[in-house]
Structure 1
């Protein structure tokens, strides 16, 4: 190559570009255009040098920036181009060995569902990976769950214990092959294998075919199986066998919380649930999440899988092992739930599984590919036509977001205590972790600390700034405050909620933030949870909120709706009038009159009672008044039942008004609302009507609050967050009302509206304040 037309350039890529077939793609692209040069992985991304005719270089760069031409899992966040001096003697394009020096900032690639090419090979009797339950390539398979350090190369994964056979190595080293540098590549001759044991670790079956057949037979018999998967163990049983499902609930100590299911294919799911086109796309995506779908009535699904809800959670097989199991006769739909006891962390080690699950599972489908990071299944639902995350984990996490500014100091955001995730901020990106769980459980807290250290080491983060919740009693706050020689920034819970929306959308200015949530400590030491904030990443003002009502009993108030009911009734009647005036409705919910008297005494004396604006506790109270139950056996059980009961044709709403407090904040006055709901409860008005009018009231109240805020601030963008907005009806109705009144509405898609997004908001706030 000679002449004035010859160009040489350096191309630096960042994004999801390691472990996705990027380097072989670059090699093939350079070969296509007869370019010379090099490509390599390093700790920050992929470095390319290309040399050749200027027109060929332009075509190369055009293809590189066309998302439709990239490998399925590859996405480029940033491309930097630099002119270089020519190398006249260069004659080839070469893939160089990865460079592990420097500070890791490259995005970690997420685990991905088995691709169509691998599935075809899985069923090809002439392929040497026929019926191999660990078949994968650069377009699919394990990534985050097996990686120990960056860059993503086999020695840095749990596959380092398996020496490749000649056939696998030939593909691994061939730049034109789909498995070129596919780090988990293996086959029956050299890779992991499966076997079946009983609870005492006695081997029942070895060999792939026999193990799969025996597993399927036990499931058909109504047994419970522990199945080691991609990111941990699942517990499985026949989803149409009510006795098996009840036995699983009893053994797992999961009394009522809905189970997720896996079905053989879309046609099977359609027997039990409605699948919109957008949901079908999610189910078939490489991320392969659990998708909540509107349930059909009178199906063969075991009733106790999900009671009191109008949805079912389904996913499709996403590993070769799943596909092989569902190919067995009689295996059509299974309960597939995290293998743990109650809310403990997901189990990923064989020995721990036998020890912890011996009293739950009848047998264990094991394998010997180690899981370095346990990763739960992600959960998604639809808000309007858009996917919205409920639990961000396998297939989506760790999730990178652009930082609001380039950071000089690394940041750690500790997150919330419920549905915890945490976040690191480094350089130009915010890195949100996978779902961890509820930190009140000692084992989850231990897992949290371990997870923080793992992701910190993976990205070589050295935090100098720590963002944490304002509540001093949170375990996440206490962990943050235990770190030495750092600057700590307390962040109000609901400000972090709105900041997470701003971070996801990259919104630069102020918004009208509407937060419908359970609880979060306010700046006035009250428990907030129904808030309208004028907020940016650098500050917020509390514009309005739900009227405070007394909440007695601490943590018990989230379980026992009688507590918020009595607090709400105290807004409209003197304490000593309540027992007699509302006797009929109160004793339906709590027959123990002495307990009612004790709670009222607490309220009257402000003993173990706090003022709150919690939307979540308001939901609990209304659900109980509507006759749906008197106890939350799992978080938001009664509010979920209230949503499921709505008469969607009823457009009426309960009366309310906005009032302005002496401090200038606006409040949604609940007195008329509670009077009408209590009256309907006493008259035994049907639950669907109460549910509809209550939901419609809340959406209308948030609209009127937003209109008032726009009138005073000229801000026209509304951002919604908070766990109560996981309620599809409320979210859809509120968004529709706001849009119909000219608002631009931001509602999160990539991260949860619940506390799973708090850490991202904390990190974004700390990053923005660092710039100041």
Structure 2
């Protein structure tokens, strides 16, 4: 563009971002045109132009290397999906990069996953070990080439190598094309492969082969949690799934997340094994060269799930994969790319009626940047370096090492030792990248969260505890920039969070007013027993809430009944958990199967209730005419039990349960004369609940839902930061 505008000078990265020093008559036009023609993968968050005095005279326009030892203060670049131009080259038989899966340019390819330190220059990435051949170097130096200064530039002659071996260690010899054709042959036989993608290993098998999918479930120890399905293109997706134009835009974006969407036609796919008891599936578009080659060569949909044992972090090295996945995969497709920041795929959904975006998992493509946090940076007047540890389940952490906010990729459940190790390793990586040590550490009120173990690794810092649900509320206040509002009601519903020494919170209402955050209402408490067992066995929640426990006696053996009823009667610990309330309702409406993953029973309840919603039944508010300060848990549950006994359809009862909760929000909001409602917590991943909220509350109130962050515990670390800077 500079040559087009006949400018002379240079462009470079410095500690503040992109700096352009140029001379010529068309500088103003050039500046405006940058904003109009900036690449889709770029994010201009601030810009200015000014005249400076200089004695330099330039002969041309060039790229000036970043100065050594500059302290960089710019966002980290996330991984980008492969662009159409590079994809064309991969499948062009006459192109030197034919079947080369790591074909990239300035507009696409891995970034964050391969970054060792700032700035994003080749020498600061794991690509540094691959020295460019003469052809690649010529592209790199040519301003007219799409790979001009592409830091990830490589080709089959000088770049990343792939190799295929079976789980007995026997290696298959051949070209890249031969390797992918061999994989296709083995996938057709029902084999399971572990494929090293750009951010970690994926486990894959034929999605049309029910026996292969069942075998993968058995080996991975993942009985019921849905698998994602990789489709070779949008047109193939549309044969099986309901795909909107909005979803297509996201599939084709530089982030290219997995999108959970409704099944339209099962056709030949093994959907009963892929997504047991559900009517939706996570669809994946092939965003990398590896995925494009495997899906195009195989020609049919493929399971593509994280390469790990259930609950462990995604594998990223050859040794790790063969050791951990050796009992799962029949074949390994390895490569020589080192992955510095392993990441799971990001997952989103759009609510069926209002197309409200819901983030299930924020990771590859989105992490680690959080744009538009200027207010937070301004509040940090002392320029303190801050580390927010987040929660223990669905962990992320947030750091403020400079004038930007960085939220880590989804890390997972820190109760798993390997996941905790990944958490600690990633924190250390951020310390190295940003050259910082925390001066302020923010942590949850829970005294036994695993992430607090890392505190002993630091020195010379202050700590502050922030209650779990207040962090949730602070997170949505921060995301939607609501801290300057006069009054906001926060509806924070999730599974559990440490409230006080004798209360587990989870169904909370907070009023933000006069720069104070107060808990003003809740789901009425019920007995909390048996710790984590309660979240894995919904019948226990049902028994705890029920006022007529004899109706549930069928679900317990004699010993269980005696122990559980006694524990409930004597329990000193109470809970307001909305998550456990959903579990209880799901159980009595027919979902009596064991729970194998968090949210499983609530997802089933949402499914049957959504079906009733689409049948346009008339809603019933189970609390109509009632006056209450807190949502009366037992009263609603008794109504549901009565409806069930009367023979009413379970889906209709479930829908009325959802509707009753939304009407309860309305009554509490009117009581406190609030016009602005903000929603956070894992329960707000429920798309039906969101659509009903928009239908029922949308005209009376301003509604705010998470869109950049997940409503679940992934947002806790960002909320801790917001709470500290706004309410300290």
If the TM-score is normalised by the length of the shorter chain, which range does it land in? over 0.9
1:354-409 C-alpha deviation (Å, 9 max, x unpaired)? 11111111111111111111111000101322432110011111122314243310
1:414-429 alignment to 2 at 5 Å?
414-429=389-404
Selected match of 1:118 from 83, 86, 94: 86
Counterpart position of 1:716: 675
Selected match of 1:317 from 274, 281, 286: 286
Counterpart position of 1:586: 553
Selected match of 1:725 from 664, 670, 684: 684
Counterpart position of 2:359: 389
Counterpart position of 1:45: 17
CA contact (8 A) 2:131 2:158 kept: yes
SS in 2 for 1:336: strand
Counterpart position of 1:243: 211
Superposition deviation, residue 123 in structure 1: 2.4
Deviates more, 1:461-470 or 1:389-398: 461-470
1:569-580 alignment to 2 at 5 Å?
569=546, 572=547, 578-579=549-550
CA contact (8 A) 1:550 1:612 kept: yes
CA contact (8 A) 1:410 1:461 kept: yes
Are residues 361 and 544 of structure 1, via their aligned partners in 2, closer, same or farther at CA, if it must alter by over 3 Å? Answer: same
Counterpart position of 1:6: none
Counterpart position of 2:563: 598
SS in 2 for 1:732: helix
Counterpart position of 1:656: 623
Give the strand-richer structure, 1 or 2. 1
Counterpart position of 2:321: 353
Counterpart position of 1:567: 544
Are residues 427 and 737 of structure 1, via their aligned partners in 2, closer, same or farther at CA, if it must alter by over 3 Å? Answer: farther
Counterpart position of 2:657: 694
Counterpart position of 1:679: 642
Superposition deviation, residue 654 in structure 1: 4.4
1:201-244 C-alpha deviation (Å, 9 max, x unpaired)? 22123320110100011011110011110100100000111000
Q: Measure, in 2, the Cα distance between the counterparts of 1:537 and 1:148.
A: 44
TM superposition score normalised by structure 2: 0.95
Segments of 5+ residues of structure 2 without an aligned counterpart are none
Counterpart position of 2:497: 520
1:64-463 alignment to 2 at 5 Å?
64-66=34-36, 69-87=37-55, 89-302=57-270, 303-328=272-297, 330-383=298-351, 384-401=354-371, 402-403=373-374, 404-406=376-378, 407=380, 408-463=383-438
SS in 2 for 1:736: helix
Q: Measure, in 2, the Cα distance between the counterparts of 1:537 and 1:263.
A: 51
Counterpart position of 1:61: 31
CA contact (8 A) 2:126 2:339 kept: yes
Deviates more, 1:404-413 or 1:136-145: 404-413
CA contact (8 A) 1:472 1:478 kept: no
Q: Measure, in 1, the Cα distance between the counterparts of 2:328 and 2:665.
A: 46
Are residues 537 and 194 of structure 1, via their aligned partners in 2, closer, same or farther at CA, if it must alter by over 3 Å? Answer: farther
CA contact (8 A) 1:537 1:764 kept: no
Segments of 5+ residues of structure 1 without an aligned counterpart are 1-28
Superposition deviation, residue 298 in structure 1: 4.2
SS in 2 for 1:522: strand
Deviates more, 1:503-512 or 1:32-41: 503-512
Are residues 420 and 644 of structure 1, via their aligned partners in 2, closer, same or farther at CA, if it must alter by over 3 Å? Answer: same
Q: Are 1:757 and 2:715 an aligned pair?
A: yes
1:257-289 C-alpha deviation (Å, 9 max, x unpaired)? 100010111121122210011111111211111
SS in 1 for 2:45: strand
Are residues 145 and 658 of structure 1, via their aligned partners in 2, closer, same or farther at CA, if it must alter by over 3 Å? Answer: farther
Are residues 30 and 87 of structure 1, via their aligned partners in 2, closer, same or farther at CA, if it must alter by over 3 Å? Answer: farther
1:539-571 C-alpha deviation (Å, 9 max, x unpaired)? 4101111111112211111011122112212xx
> Number of matched residues?
714
SS in 2 for 1:533: strand
Counterpart position of 2:699: 740
Q: Measure, in 2, the Cα distance between the counterparts of 1:154 and 1:208.
A: 25
Counterpart position of 1:466: 441
1:610-657 C-alpha deviation (Å, 9 max, x unpaired)? 211111000000000001114311111111001111111234234227
Q: Measure, in 2, the Cα distance between the counterparts of 1:593 and 1:103.
A: 67
1:701-732 C-alpha deviation (Å, 9 max, x unpaired)? 122222222x2xxx422111110110100112
SS in 2 for 1:498: helix
RMSD: 1.9
Superposition deviation, residue 755 in structure 1: 0.7
Q: Measure, in 2, the Cα distance between the counterparts of 1:537 and 1:140.
A: 46
CA contact (8 A) 2:73 2:403 kept: no
SS in 2 for 1:496: helix
Are residues 483 and 705 of structure 1, via their aligned partners in 2, closer, same or farther at CA, if it must alter by over 3 Å? Answer: farther
Q: Measure, in 2, the Cα distance between the counterparts of 1:455 and 1:318.
A: 26
Counterpart position of 2:630: 667
CA contact (8 A) 2:41 2:107 kept: yes
Counterpart position of 1:8: none
1:100-123 C-alpha deviation (Å, 9 max, x unpaired)? 423232211111111011112222
Q: Measure, in 2, the Cα distance between the counterparts of 1:103 and 1:88.
A: 25
Are residues 44 and 88 of structure 1, via their aligned partners in 2, closer, same or farther at CA, if it must alter by over 3 Å? Answer: closer
CA contact (8 A) 1:423 1:433 kept: yes
Counterpart position of 2:507: 530
